[in-house]
């Protein structure tokens, strides 16, 4: 490809105009392109077509799962506009939203960080006193601090944490390489994990982060159920798939405590009590049993349903349990290196025990006696659990009338049904069980593994590149500790029975002081225990403002990279459109500088291009014909072989030992090791789904006597987490933090629409403007998440959230929060 083709992305001005006018129709109405372009320097409206304008291919990548392709319009070295660009692999993924349209104001934000900054000596962290330093001094100081803390306290004492900022091949692997060489500790961001862990532990290792049918398959659904998902705000780029399916005749049911915007577009909105999705799923399953609607063939052939469970070991009964000899198959498990033996699971057929792969007609709901032991099928054990959740019991827990439960069950018995699941229900202490129960509910009536039949949120990562650059010392020499357990480890100075200190933290792609639970623990417990904190970001975020050194990064369109995640099942090429402004530097260049000062420069001699080329040196890429050159030329390449991707179809089997959906867990394994002891009975709790009350958000919990509201967040329509927080045109539409309250609750507290109110609990408080809304469930409060602290009149939302976690799941429970609300006036503290 010639240099000019490369930079112009092959788009003619006329082609571009056509594309952008379609884009304007699909994005939310946020003002015309004129107001956007006017924001950038060096552009004046009415110039001749294409006069000096270069168009580069950008990939928007804030982790909204969209990874939209954008045309990045450049005039005289300035980005003047962003507009929608096509996906080469599938035009269904062409889209842009109000954030994508407003990049210019984010890039040229007058408050964008310009130079490396150091906290002025003698001033408090967070006091806002900074001095400009050179890159050389910044890198030298950071290297010295790393050396100092590792020499004194051990390698693990230097830690890093990353979040939603930018998952790209060169970016992430270059950081990974340095962390790997330093054997640094990873403070792992514990968001969204109840869903991912809940699904993967039943579906098998090495499955995608969250696998389900591709969005383009939604058109095949007869019914769509959106649960715990605020799709018109949180996945606006997926909304058109729902709309198209509806036009094709699909019904839409929204199950959410709040009457969300998408609920207003649905055929039916089912309000549910927060933290009770598991009970709902168990209740629907109960009705399937009552109606004899179970898809016996699916349960028999694709799930562990007919497998017998040993009453003592709690594992599946295998031939060796009744005296059979395991036979070596001649194969070795590539993951574990163990010999693979043939020791088949046993099922019941005509009252006798038969190897599962020899049984033509196994009994699903069965029990047999053997040597005085009672073997029961995992299906029978599941049924016992489900039996406890009659529609009446479930109605009591979920606050959904029984008749409504029957109506929802009717939808599922009239499939195919796509259950599009957001992250609302899983963000409670009982969250893993929502996914556990939900997938089982879908499976029971065969709503998995077929066109139109799906459960989950599509969230794939490209795991198939060559990762060796990012791990020169081999996989994981570095310890991982969980962010919700971080304060416990810091306080005790112990981890896994050994002394373990963390003294220095490098933060990139993340803003935990704004987005992680319990800000006051961060401010008063975590930060004071750290000798040094470095933050690499483009803005003075909440987290950056508490750093000792702040590094100004190059933003997405100022670097060349390949993005690797999202819901479009493609890897995408992001061209470098402009040079980083001011003294901003790309993260890989920052790493190179620091590595140099650490004497590790020899490990970082590859250029960005070479790092990217190396990424494609994998067997998968070779066999799939995915090359760096092709991705560059096309803009993107699909990495998923089937299209539309149907999760758990016969071609995409479960990766469990049996190749089946193992809804009964033989070996429940905690997601992560933490400082918390796991009581033995918890292992049994995890084998099958159970509903148990959330940590706080349950009316009978003592804390709710003191703090009677459940505080739930939604995704801000104008931000992704805290990103875009300072974009002028978006702030015009959404100027300040708000909290929605039911008018009856407001009246009881004499709160009027527009009043400033304080939400508070023992952990902290946040002040926001009250919005009275009949759409908010009485007893709940709803706020758009992730403003920066300074944007609140006082406090901030994350102050109210708890770091308490379930020791099995180890997830941050963003919705499991009790609080109260009262009037607030200026001058109150």
Ligand X SMILES: Nc1nc2c(c(=O)[nH]1)N[C@H]1C(S)=C(S)[C@@H](COP(=O)(O)OP(=O)(O)OC[C@H]3O[C@@H](n4cnc5c(=O)[nH]c(N)nc54)[C@H](O)[C@@H]3O)O[C@H]1N2
Residues forming contacts to ligand X in the complex (CB under 6 A) are 62-65, 163-166, 171, 191-192, 227-230, 233-235, 255-258, 260, 272, 274-275, 277, 422-425, 427, 508-512, 515, 536-539, 541, 553, 587, 712-717, 719-723, 785-786, 797-798, 801, 814-815
Which residue's Cβ lies closest to ligand SF4?
A: 100
Interface stretch with Mo ion, choices 190-198, 243-251, 269-277, 298-306 (CB under 5 A): 190-198
- Sites for ligand SF4 among residues 225-244 (CB under 6 A): 236-237
CB 98, min distance to ligand SF4, A: 7
Of 67 and 628, which CB lies nearer to ligand X in the complex structure? 67
Q: Quick one: tokens of 315?
A: 């594992």
Of 306 and 716, which CB lies nearer to ligand SF4 in the complex structure? 716
**How do 532-537 and 504-508 pair as beta strands?**
parallel
Residues forming a β-bridge with 168: 563
Q: DSSP code of 429?
A: T
720 in contact with Mo ion (CB under 5 A): no
Cα separation, 297 vs 301, in Å, equals: 6
Of 126 and 477, which CB lies nearer to ligand X in the complex structure? 126
Place of tokens 């016992």: 384
CB 432, min distance to ligand X, A: 13
Site size toward Mo ion (CB under 5 A) is: 2
Cα separation, 769 vs 760, in Å, equals: 14
Q: Is the preceding omega at residue 644 within 30 degrees of 0, hence cis?
A: yes
Residue 663 contact among ligand X, Mo ion, ligand SF4, none, beta carbon within 5 to 8 Å by kind: none
**Of the candidates 690, 670, 698, 671, the residue with the CA atom closest to the CA atom of residue 815:** 698
In residues, how long is the chain? 829
Separation in Å, CA 390 to CA 268, 290, 382 = 23, 10, 14
Cα separation, 511 vs 541, in Å, equals: 7
Residues forming a β-bridge with 254: 226, 269
Q: DSSP code of 650?
A: T
Residue 563 and residue 66 in contact, taking contact as beta carbons nearer than 8 Å = no
Burial degree of 485 (CB within 10 A; 0-12, 13-18, 19+): buried
100 in contact with ligand SF4 (CB under 6 A): yes
Which residue's Cβ lies closest to Mo ion?
A: 192
Of 85 and 294, which CB lies nearer to ligand SF4 in the complex structure? 85
CB 259, min distance to ligand SF4, A: 23
Residues forming a β-bridge with 355: 346
99 in contact with ligand SF4 (CB under 6 A): yes
Helix/strand/coil for 216: helix
What is the DSSP annotation of 26-80? Answer: HS-----HHHHHTTSTT--TTPPTTTTEEEEEEE--SSSS---EEEEEEETTEEE
Residue 499 φ/ψ, nearest 5 degrees = -60, 135
CB 343, min distance to ligand X, A: 40
**Of the candidates 268, 170, 127, the residue with the CA atom closest to the CA atom of residue 560:** 170
Of 60 and 245, which CB lies nearer to ligand X in the complex structure? 60
Kindly tell me the number of DSSP H helices and DSSP E strands found in the chain: 28, 36
Q: Figure out which of the listed residues 36, 54, 64, 149 binds ligand SF4, where binding follows CB under 6 A.
A: 64
**Of the candidates 174, 690, 35, 710, the residue with the CA atom closest to the CA atom of residue 387:** 690
385 in contact with Mo ion (CB under 5 A): no
191 in contact with Mo ion (CB under 5 A): yes
The shares of helix, strand and coil residues in the chain, as percent rounded to the nearest 5, are 35, 20, 45
Q: Figure out which of the listed residues 43, 56, 67, 648 binds ligand SF4, where binding follows CB under 6 A.
A: 67
66 in contact with ligand SF4 (CB under 6 A): yes
Residue 395 contact among ligand SF4, Mo ion, ligand X, none, beta carbon within 5 to 8 Å by kind: none
Contact map string, positions 712 to 751, toward ligand SF4, x by CB under 6 A: --------x-------------------------------
Interface stretch with ligand SF4, choices 92-100, 125-133, 368-376, 622-630 (CB under 6 A): 92-100
Of 57 and 785, which CB lies nearer to Mo ion in the complex structure? 785
729 contact partners, CB below 8 Å, separation of at least 6: 30, 31, 35, 36, 39, 102, 105
Residue 515 contact among ligand X, Mo ion, ligand SF4, none, beta carbon within 5 to 8 Å by kind: ligand X
192 in contact with Mo ion (CB under 5 A): yes
Residue 378 contact among Mo ion, ligand X, ligand SF4, none, beta carbon within 5 to 8 Å by kind: none
Of 384 and 732, which CB lies nearer to ligand SF4 in the complex structure? 732
CA angle, 641 then 646 then 648, to 5°? 105
CB 418, min distance to ligand SF4, A: 20
62 in contact with ligand SF4 (CB under 6 A): yes
CB 298, min distance to ligand SF4, A: 35
Of 143 and 458, which CB lies nearer to Mo ion in the complex structure? 458
Residue 512 contact among Mo ion, ligand X, ligand SF4, none, beta carbon within 5 to 8 Å by kind: ligand X
Residues forming a β-bridge with 251: 223
Residue 100 contact among ligand X, Mo ion, ligand SF4, none, beta carbon within 5 to 8 Å by kind: ligand SF4
Which residues are near Mo ion by CB under 5 A?
191-192
Which residues are near ligand SF4 by CB under 6 A?
60, 62, 64, 66-68, 96-97, 99-100, 236-237, 720
């Amino acid at each position: 490809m010639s240099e000019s083709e490369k930079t112009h992305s092959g788009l003619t001005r006329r082609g571009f105009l056509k594309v952008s006018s379609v884009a304007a129709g699909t994005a939310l109405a946020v003002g015309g392109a004129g107001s956007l372009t006017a924001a950038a320097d060096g552009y004046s409206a009415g110039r001749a077509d294409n006069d000096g304008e270069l168009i580069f291919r950008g990939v928007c990548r804030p982790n909204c799962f969209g990874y939209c392709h954008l045309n990045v319009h450049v005039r005289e070295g300035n980005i003047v506009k962003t507009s929608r660009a096509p996906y080469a692999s599938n035009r269904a993924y062409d889209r842009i939203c109000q954030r994508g349209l407003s990049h210019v104001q984010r890039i040229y934000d007058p408050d964008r960080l310009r130079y490396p900054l150091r906290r002025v000596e003698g001033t408090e962290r967070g006091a806002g006193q900074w001095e400009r330093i050179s890159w050389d001094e910044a890198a030298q100081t950071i290297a010295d601090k790393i050396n100092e803390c590792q020499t004194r306290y051990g390698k693990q004492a230097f830690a890093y944490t990353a979040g939603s900022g930018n998952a790209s091949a060169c970016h992430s692997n270059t950081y990974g390489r340095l962390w790997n060489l330093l054997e640094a500790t990873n403070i792992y961001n514990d968001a969204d994990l109840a869903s991912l862990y809940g699904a993967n532990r039943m579906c098998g290792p090495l499955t995608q982060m969250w696998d389900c049918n591709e969005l383009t398959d939604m058109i095949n659904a007869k019914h769509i159920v959106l649960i715990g998902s605020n799709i018109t705000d949180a996945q606006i780029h997926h909304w058109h798939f729902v709309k198209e399916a509806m036009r094709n005749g699909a019904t839409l049911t929204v199950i959410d405590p709040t009457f969300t915007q998408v609920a207003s577009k649905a055929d039916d909105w089912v309000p549910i009590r927060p933290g009770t999705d598991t009970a709902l799923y168990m209740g629907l399953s109960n009705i399937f049993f009552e109606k004899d609607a179970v898809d016996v063939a699916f349960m028999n052939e694709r799930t562990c349903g007919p497998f017998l469970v040993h009453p003592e070991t709690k594992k599946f009964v295998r031939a060796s349990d009744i005296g059979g000899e395991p036979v070596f198959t001649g194969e070795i498990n590539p993951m574990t290196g163990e010999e693979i033996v043939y020791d088949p699971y046993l099922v019941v057929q005509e009252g006798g025990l038969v190897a599962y792969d020899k049984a033509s007609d196994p009994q699903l709901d069965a029990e047999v006696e053997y040597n005085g032991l009672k073997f029961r099928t995992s299906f029978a054990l599941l049924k016992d659990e489900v039996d406890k959740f009659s529609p009446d019991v479930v109605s009591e827990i979920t606050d959904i009338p029984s008749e409504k439960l029957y109506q929802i069950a009717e939808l599922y018995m009239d499939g195919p049904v796509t259950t599009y699941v957001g992250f609302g229900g899983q963000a409670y202490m009982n969250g893993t069980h929502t996914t556990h129960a939900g997938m089982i509910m879908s499976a029971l009536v065969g709503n998995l593994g077929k066109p139109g039949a799906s459960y989950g949120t599509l969230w794939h990562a490209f795991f198939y590149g060559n990762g060796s650059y990012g791990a020169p010392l081999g996989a994981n020499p570095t310890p991982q500790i969980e962010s919700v357990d971080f304060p416990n480890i810091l306080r005790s100075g112990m981890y896994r029975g050994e002394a373990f200190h963390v003294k220095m933290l490098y933060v990139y792609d993340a803003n935990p002081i704004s987005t992680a639970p319990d800000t006051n623990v961060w401010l008063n417990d975590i930060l004071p225990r750290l000798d040094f904190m470095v933050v690499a970001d483009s803005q003075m975020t909440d987290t950056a403002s508490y750093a000792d050194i702040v590094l100004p990064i190059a933003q997405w369109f100022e670097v060349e990279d390949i993005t690797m995640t999202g819901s479009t099942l493609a890897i995408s090429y992001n061209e470098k459109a402009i040079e980083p402004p001011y003294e901003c530097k790309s993260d890989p260049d920052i790493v190179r500088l620091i590595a140099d000062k650490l004497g590790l420069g020899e490990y970082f001699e590859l250029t960005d291009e070479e790092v990217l080329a190396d990424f494609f040196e994998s067997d998968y890429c070779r066999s799939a014909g995915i090359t760096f050159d092709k991705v560059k030329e096309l803009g993107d390449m699909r990495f998923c072989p089937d299209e539309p991707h149907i999760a758990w179809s016969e071609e995409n089997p479960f990766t469990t030992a049996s190749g089946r959906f193992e809804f009964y867990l033989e070996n429940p394994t905690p997601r992560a090791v933490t400082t918390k002891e796991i009581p033995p009975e918890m292992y049994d709790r995890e084998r099958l789904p159970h509903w148990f009350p959330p940590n706080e958000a349950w009316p009978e919990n003592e804390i709710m006597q003191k703090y009677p509201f459940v505080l739930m967040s939604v995704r801000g329509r104008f931000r992704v987490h805290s990103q875009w927080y300072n974009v002028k045109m978006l702030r015009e539409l959404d100027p300040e933090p708000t909290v929605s309250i039911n008018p009856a609750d407001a009246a009881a507290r004499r709160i009027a629409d527009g009043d400033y109110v304080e939400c508070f609990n023992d952990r902290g408080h946040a002040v926001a403007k009250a919005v009275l809304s009949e759409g908010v469930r009485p007893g709940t409060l709803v706020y758009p998440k992730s403003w920066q602290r300074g944007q609140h009149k006082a406090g901030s939302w994350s102050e109210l959230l708890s770091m308490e976690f379930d020791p099995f799941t180890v997830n941050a429970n963003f919705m499991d929060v009790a609080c109260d609300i009262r009037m607030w006036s200026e001058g109150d503290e």
